[in-house]
Amino acid sequence: MKRGFLLVVSGPSGVGKGTVLHDLMNTQKNLVYSVSATTRNKREGEIDGISYFFIDKNDFEKMIENDEFLEYAHVHNNYYGTPKHFVEKKIEEGKIVILEIDVQGAMNIKRNTDNGVFVFLAPPSLKELKNRIVKRGTESVEDIKIRMNNAIGELKYIDEYDYLVVNDHLNSAINSVNEIINAEKHKVSRSNYNFKEESEI
What residues make contact with a copy of itself under the rule CB under 8 A? 120, 122, 125-127, 129-130, 148, 152, 155, 158-159, 161-166, 176, 179-180, 182-184, 186-188, 191, 193, 195, 198, 200-201
To a copy of itself, the closest distance from the beta carbon of 102 in angstroms equals 17
- Taking CA atoms, 38 is separated from 33, 78, 87, 144, 148, in Å, by 15, 7, 16, 28, 28
CA distance 168 to 185: 25
Q: Rounded to the nearest whole angstrom, what is the least distance from the CB of residue 90 to a copy of itself in the complex? A: 22
Q: Which is nearer to a copy of itself, 66 or 192 (CB)?
A: 192
Nearest approach in angstroms of CB 87 to a copy of itself is 22
Which lies closer to a copy of itself via its Cβ, residue 37 or residue 177? 177
Task: Count Cα neighbours of 200 within 13 Å in the Cβ-side half-sphere.
Answer: 0
User: Is 7 strand, coil or helix?
Assistant: strand
Contact between 125 and 60 (Cβ < 8 Å): no
For a copy of itself, the closer of residues 92 and 160 by Cβ is 160
Q: How far apart are CA 123 and CA 169, in angstroms?
A: 10
Query: By C-alpha distance, which of 107, 118, 113 is closest to 83?
Result: 113
Nearer to a copy of itself, 135 or 186 (CB): 186
Q: What is the smallest separation between the CB atom of 27 and a copy of itself, expressed in angstroms?
A: 13
